[in-house]
Structures are given as structure tokens and as C-alpha cells.
């Protein structure tokens, strides 16, 4: 477990260890922040160019260093109230969607580590679900269960409880025999949240809060319960792709519209209901991959490619410099041209995208958030690596 004395983040931009005492650290970090901001300014232009718009807002953070002396660089570019003019701040909070799954996966790994469950356990131990005897916890973590995705089914409602979301998926047959293939599916992680509650006797949100958010002092990270806390920004999207709207083709002519009450923000629950900042996300992935939240065996399980995912993702086209090539039990494997292999997770939810990665070779963790649904967070993350490598 991580000790509480780990960090104090200066959210105005960066915090360092002993370097601040010299004054040199402050100047260096200010330069790093300006370098990062310049890259975000440019990405807002290039990322929105296919539609003839500028991406409303992007924020990023870079963490590197060892426990107790993590160095953080952050920057924001754009507005907090698209299509308005209020500037983003370093405290602006974004919906981060499926980055939430990394927390749920870490919780399940802790429960396996403590012996409260086994990854080989069938879901029928806790839930009545068709073919539940042949679907294991490991399959849920690795998206090899064959479950249909409740969020893509007719009848999906924003007011559904986790149990109702699972019941909706149960109406359809499995997509494939459990364990035979890979298919990304939100139902897997809703089911993991329910299993965690049955084991601990506590709410999933309370377990995430006590085990991770409080322990790591991720004070700007919350679970969406339907009401915005201070500094939570609205999202935005192009006026396309929804019912009654034209398809979102890459061409000018669409306008940016606000998203202030996302359909899936709450119902996503243990698969996608968290709100955070790039700084908190960078610290989270850095500690997940470097700290003692998990033992070495369980960290490796989260970041070991499954054969099913490699087969499924081998033909996926690149996102600019970045290729998503595999997945483990909770994390995605990224290959970034010129910068090696990283492990992280993407999130996309009504009006927002996010992406976070730990790069094994450089030891840097990078998080990106945007309050514009059409932002390509994979491509942005890949393009940012050139700037990230220049940060001392």
C-alpha cells in the first residue's frame, strides 16, 4: 500500500522535491509548463482542422521521478465552457470515462492479492448470469468474456442501476465462447464493480475512495453522482452523430455544441463514471505502475498482453505516432513511434475524452484530457511524446 506522506501537489502548475529550495526548480518547471502549453495550443489547431474548428480545450500533465520526489509539469489550453470564453485552469476537472476501469481493475487485483477472490473464480459465485459458470473474473478483466455491451443495446437508459445494466446484457447470447476471443465491453467492468461490492460489503465508490483516492491524495478526482463539484467543466461535441443529426464526417460545416448532462456519466459507474484532472491521472498511473498499490505479480498481470487481444488488435490502424497493440488485465499496451512501449487506458464519454499512459523506457507518465468528444486522444497522446521527452 502507498503511504499517505507520498506527495503534496501544487496544483497551480507543478511541484518538486528538494529542487524548489534552490529556485532553479521553479524556473525549470515554468519553462517545461510553457513548452507543454505550446504543444497543446498547436494540437488544438491541428486536431480540429478536419472540421474547420479549433478543439475547445485540452489539458495535460507529465509525471516523472521516484516515489516521494515525483516531478510534475502541467498545462492547459482553451476554454472551460465550450463554446464560451472562460479559460481552463490547472484545477479544471474533466470526465475521464473508461480510465475509471483502471481503478476497478486495481481494486479486483487487490482482492485477489488478499485472497478474497481468485481470478479463476466463475462469476456465478456472486451473480446469476447465463453461462456464469464458464465466465471467470479474469475474463471480465481482460475483455474475453464474450458478454455483450449493455451501453450499445436498445433499452439502455441513463437511470439504470448496475444490476439493470447487467440484466439488459443478459437478454442477448454471448458474442463468442468465453475465453476464446477479445472484445472491449463495458458490461465486464460493471460486473466487476458488483462483485467487489458483494465481497467487501461496501459500495464500489467507497472502496475506490479509501483504497486509492484518499491514500494517494488524488483530491481532484471524484465519482460522478449527478452533481458537478467545483471546477468540473462541461463537455462539447460537434452537432453530428446523434439521433436526427448527420453523420460525423471529417469536413467543415458542423458547429460545436455544449454537453452539460451526459447520458452515460452516471450509469457508466465502475466502467466510466470518474471525474479528474490530468495531474491526478498522471500520479495515478505512475503509482499504479511504480508504487506498492499492488505486488509485482499483480502489476504484471495488468500489463501483460493477452493472446486474444493481440489477435484482435493486430490489424488496428495507427493513430498517428501511436498504435494500440494489445491489452492486459486492466491496461492497454501502446506502441509510440520513437518512444517505445507504454501501458495505460483511454476514456471517451459524452462530451469528453481522456488518455493516460506510463512509458516504460523513459519512466514518464503522461495524461491528456479534452472537453471535446471529437478529440483523438490517442493521436494527441502520441504527438505529445516529442514534447514530453524534452522535459527535464
pLDDT digits (tens, 9 = 90+) for 177-215: 999 999 999 999 999 999 999 999 999 999 999 999 999
Residue ranges of domains in the chain, CATH in brackets: 4-102+208-389 (3.40.710.10)
pTM score of the predicted model: 0.92
CB 97 within 8 A of CB 352: yes
46 in Cβ contact with 320 (< 8 Å):
no
pLDDT(27) > 90: no
Cα–Cα distance between 92 and 172 in angstroms, integer? Answer: 40
Q: What is the spatial distance between Cα 166 and Cα 392, in angstroms, rounded to a whole number?
A: 47
* DSSP one-letter code for 132: G
- The Cα–Cα gap between 136 and 115 comes to 16
Give 54-111 pLDDT, tens digit per residue: 999 999 999 988 666 788 999 999 999 999 999 999 899 999 999 999 999 999 999 9
d(CA 129, CA 170): 7
Distances (CA, A) of 27 to 23, 62, 362: 7, 17, 23
Tell me the helix, strand and coil percentages in the chain, rounded to 5: 35, 20, 45
- Contact between 108 and 293 (Cβ < 8 Å): no
**pLDDT value of residue 390:** 77
Reply yes or no on whether the pLDDT at 382 is more than 70.
yes
Least confident of 23-32, 273-282, 382-391: 23-32
Summarised one tens digit per residue, pLDDT across range 333-378 is: 999 999 999 999 999 999 999 999 999 888 999 999 999 999 999 9
Q: Give the E-state strand segments of the chain in sequence order.
A: 57-64, 71-78, 94-97, 222-223, 235-238, 256-259, 274-276, 322-327, 332-336, 340-349, 352-359, 364-370
Band (pLDDT 50/70/90 cuts) for residue 25 is very low
Amino acid at each position: 500500500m502507498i503511504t499517505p506522506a507520498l506527495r503534496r501537489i501544487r496544483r497551480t502548475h507543478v511541484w518538486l522535491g528538494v529542487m524548489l529550495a534552490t529556485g532553479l526548480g521553479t524556473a525549470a518547471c515554468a519553462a517545461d509548463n510553457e513548452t507543454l502549453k505550446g504543444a497543446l495550443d498547436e494540437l488544438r489547431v491541428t486536431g480540429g482542422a478536419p472540421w474547420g474548428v479549433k478543439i475547445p480545450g485540452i489539458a495535460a500533465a507529465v509525471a516523472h521521478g521516484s516515489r516521494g520526489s515525483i516531478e510534475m509539469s502541467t498545462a492547459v489550453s482553451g476554454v472551460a465552457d465550450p463554446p464560451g470564453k472562460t479559460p481552463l485552469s490547472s484545477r479544471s476537472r474533466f470526465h475521464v470515462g473508461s480510465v475509471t476501469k483502471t481503478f476497478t481493475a486495481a481494486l479486483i487485483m487487490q482482492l485477489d492479492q488478499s485472497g478474497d477472490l481468485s481470478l479463476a473464480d466463475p462469476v456465478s459465485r456472486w451473480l446469476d448470469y447465463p453461462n456464469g459458470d464458464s465466465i471467470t473474473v479474469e475474463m471480465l478483466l481482460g475483455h474475453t468474456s464474450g458478454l455483450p455491451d449493455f451501453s450499445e443495446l436498445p433499452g439502455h437508459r441513463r437511470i439504470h442501476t448496475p444490476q439493470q445494466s447487467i440484466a439488459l446484457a443478459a437478454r442477448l447470447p454471448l458474442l463468442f465462447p468465453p475465453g476464446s476471443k477479445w472484445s472491449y465491453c463495458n458490461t465486464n467492468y460493471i460486473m466487476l464493480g458488483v462483485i467487489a461490492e458483494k465481497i467487501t460489503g461496501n459500495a464500489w465508490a467507497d472502496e475506490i475512495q479509501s483504497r486509492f483516492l484518499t491514500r494517494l491524495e488524488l483530491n481532484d478526482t471524484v465519482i460522478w453522482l449527478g452533481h458537478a463539484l467545483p471546477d468540473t467543466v462541461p463537455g462539447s461535441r460537434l452537432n453530428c452523430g446523434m439521433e436526427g443529426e448527420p453523420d460525423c464526417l471529417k469536413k467543415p460545416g458542423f458547429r460545436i455544441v455544449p454537453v452539460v448532462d451526459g447520458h452515460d456519466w452516471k450509469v457508466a459507474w465502475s466502467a466510466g463514471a470518474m471525474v479528474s484532472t490530468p495531474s491526478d491521472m498522471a500520479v495515478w498511473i505512475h503509482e499504479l505502475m511504480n508504487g506498492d498499490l499492488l505486488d509485482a505479480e499483480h502489476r504484471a498481470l495488468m500489463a501483460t498482453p493477452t493472446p486474444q487481444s493481440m489477435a484482435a488488435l493486430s490489424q488496428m490502424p495507427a493513430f498517428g505516432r501511436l498504435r494500440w497493440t494489445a491489452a492486459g488485465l486492466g491496461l492497454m499496451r501502446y506502441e509510440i513511434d520513437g518512444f517505445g512501449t507504454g501501458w495505460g487506458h483511454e476514456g471517451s464519454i459524452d462530451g469528453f475524452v481522456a488518455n493516460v499512459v506510463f512509458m516504460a523506457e523513459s519512466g514518464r507518465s503522461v495524461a491528456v484530457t479534452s472537453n471535446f468528444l471529437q478529440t483523438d486522444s490517442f493521436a494527441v497522446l502520441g504527438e505529445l511524446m516529442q514534447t514530453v521527452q524534452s522535459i527535464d
